[in-house]
Amino acid sequence: MAAKKIDIMDVRQLIQLKIKGESNRSCSSSLAIHRNTVN
């Protein structure tokens, strides 16, 4: 199955959340992406 591409703005938000120390699970729920995508 082909994966959906995530928007560059989502990538920027993800980086900011990870710098703040957020967990993968909380990042994925706030951005509405799969938890494995955060990894």
Tell me if 10 sits within 8 A of 31, measured CB to CB.
Answer: yes
Ordered alpha helix ranges (H), the chain: 8-20, 24-31, 35-38
The pLDDT value recorded for residue 1 is: 58
Note the pTM of the prediction, 2 decimals: 0.78
Q: How confident is the model at residue 13 (pLDDT cuts 50, 70, 90)?
A: very high
Question: Is the confidence at residue 5, as pLDDT, over 80?
Answer: yes
Cα 21 from Cα 23, distance rounded (Å): 7
